Amino acid sequence: MRWTTAVTVLSLVVLVTLAIRGVDHLDGETDWHQRARDRLYLGVPWGTLVVVGIVLFVYFVVQDGLTEPTDPVSIPYRAWSYRYPLGMVTAPFAHASLGHLLGNLTGALVLAPIAEYAWGHYPGHSTDGSASIRADPRVRAVVVFPLGVCLVALATSVLAVGPVIGFSGVVFAFAGFAMVSYPIHTVVASLGAHGALLTVIRAMRSPVTVAGVDAAPPAPPGWATIAIQAHALGFLAGVLLALAVSSRARGRPRPGRFWIAVVLFAFGKSMWAIYWYGAEGRYVLFRAPGVALVLVLSIVVTLAVTDSERPLIGDTTVTGTDRDRATPERTGYTHRVRRIFDVGRRAVRSTAISAGFAGRIDSLPRRETATVALVVVLALVSGPALALNAVSPAPSDTQPALSVDGYGVTYDESVEHELVSVVPVDAYGSTESVTVSGVIVWSTERSLWTNAVSANRLAHSGSASVELGAPGWRRTVSVERTGWDVVGNESTYQVWLDSPSADRSLAFESPPRRSSVAVDGVSMTLASVDGTFVLHMAGENESSETVPVPAADDRSTNGDITLVHEDDRLVAVSDGTRAVVAIREYDE
């Protein structure tokens, strides 16, 4: 299949190249190459390529993605706490999986060039390259732009709530920056070109896929996996940076188009998905408040980017820049909209006059006021992180079943979520504490605590692995659940942990489960004792015995009852009567 894959990849590359060249030839009126060269050194977004190279280096070298491309070391490279600087620095460039990496890099590849083009390699629109070092297009391309991106990335890590990981906050910053100058291009790139590019890459990686009807492992809802606060932080930061550095010569985008672009982008990228944690793996989605918040913030962003310098509620005289934008085809619509806003401004002005501070409000420019409001919103979005990221999770009082170079690993159920418990907020009025079950990993020296594998996921698959490490080394902890589905009751199971650097250890034993099956009046309860499955048999005369569960294809006799372990079933046999007591959870 390797040669067919190579042929498919080559064919796709040729077809995409021919398609681009063909469209470029048909659109002979537009010299795209010259336009690119006017703002980018040699017409290439060098800064974007440098940034993508940094992200790839972190994934394949720092996270050891070269060893396991689909399963890199990610736990130590999350933004756990200000007390763990390594995680804060690496988090915005690291990724949890290859799919995570591809999603963010393809987003960067379609949005970062627009942002870089809007910023430009030639300050003052000079393309001769003769200027100071700071204004040298080569320096701006391969040093200044990547440095700015790295600073934004660090900000999205430091000001993000929770142990974030991934480049998505920076991708949203690219979108916010590009949106100010090229709103339509940004929406087309993010909602159209991104998906197309990702599909082409997937087609190259897997030209033909064979799939069946299989039960998917338990997973949280898609919206509960979005770092919504980091995305909002990145987008708002990108808009404000664009307002600070963009040239006024290109003018402001039309308010209507810009607002529509912001709304489409925000809804298309699920920026409305505000959620919080509930008890035992549940999540609470605040969809309606999220939608309302997106609409309100879209108006604030639109005012900050497109509004004029006129007073907030003062004189409504049309300025020169507004007159330039009042084209004949938009005059009627603009006039009606202005009348609506004028009515509102007069009402606010009347209230201000009666309160005695109309003069101060009259002096406030609309655009600056909206920009200040945007800064306040950004502060509100990022402010909680300053307090939460300064707190380290409480050291676990549980003895680790396995210790690996400063990490403690165990399995437990219904334990308090150490990261959520520091937030004094109850979702939707709930008074339940947020608890989790599964494989717990913690490290006091790294200020981290995480539910690495959920109990539901482990129950579905029967096994999992957790990648631990630090720069220069990695260790794999293997997790295995083995147990019996007791007839008429829940499962009785054990969880074992193993690592090349430590002995295999028993991490958890579930409570005993009584079967609904009784043979000759003898009830049967399956239990796990010190790593061994045993069967408690209690007769009607209050006599009881405990016997080990026979090995596979073996049997044991207890009085008149014979226990047989056959075909992954535990069968009780007495006087020709056969009754299944329990069934193996997983095939041996």
Q: What is the CA radius of gyration of the chain?
A: 31
Tens place of pLDDT for every residue, the chain, 588 residues?
466 656 666 665 666 566 656 555 555 555 667 777 888 888 889 999 999 999 999 999 999 999 999 999 999 999 999 999 999 999 999 999 999 999 999 999 999 999 999 898 887 655 544 456 777 888 988 999 999 999 999 999 999 988 999 999 999 999 999 999 899 999 999 999 888 888 888 888 787 888 887 777 788 888 888 889 999 999 999 999 998 887 554 567 888 889 999 999 999 999 999 988 876 678 889 999 999 999 999 988 988 888 666 665 555 454 555 544 444 444 554 555 455 545 555 555 565 555 555 555 555 666 777 788 888 899 998 888 888 888 777 655 667 888 888 899 999 998 888 777 666 555 455 556 778 899 999 998 898 999 999 999 999 999 999 999 999 899 999 999 999 999 999 999 999 999 988 889 999 999 999 999 888 888 899 999 999 999 998 887 767 788 899 988 888 888 788 889 988 899 999 887 889 999 999 876
Backbone φ/ψ region at 355: left (φ over 0), alpha (ψ -120 to 50), beta: alpha
**Strand, helix or coil for residue 82:** coil
DSSP label of 140: I
pLDDT of residue 176: 95
Please spell the DSSP secondary structure of 117-136, one letter per residue.
HHH-SSGGG--S--S-TTT-
CA 363/CA 263 separation, integer angstroms: 30
CA 121/CA 143 separation, integer angstroms: 11
Assign domain 32-207+224-257 one CATH number from 3.90.226, 1.20.1540, 2.30.30, 3.30.390: 1.20.1540
Are 522 and 539 in contact by the 8 Å Cβ rule? The answer is yes
Give me the phi and psi of 573, to 5 degrees please.
-120, 130
CA 238/CA 89 separation, integer angstroms: 19
**Strand, helix or coil for residue 479:** strand
CA 458/CA 480 separation, integer angstroms: 8
- Side chain identity at residue 301, one-letter code: V
In sequence order, which residues have a C-beta less than 8 Å from that of residue 472 and are 6 or more positions away? none
Q: Which of 66, 63, 68, 71 is nearest to 94 (CA)?
A: 63
**How far, CA to CA in Å, does 393 sit from each of 81, 397, 418, 431, 446?**
9, 12, 6, 21, 10
pTM for the model = 0.84
Are 543 and 479 in contact by the 8 Å Cβ rule? The answer is no
Q: Which of 575, 471, 577 is nearest to 58 (CA)?
A: 471
pLDDT of residue 44: 87
Q: Residues for the chain: how many in total?
A: 588
The 10 Å Cβ neighbour count of residue 566 is 12
Are 92 and 166 in contact by the 8 Å Cβ rule? The answer is yes
CA 9/CA 11 separation, integer angstroms: 5
DSSP label of 311: B
The 10 Å Cβ neighbour count of residue 325 is 18
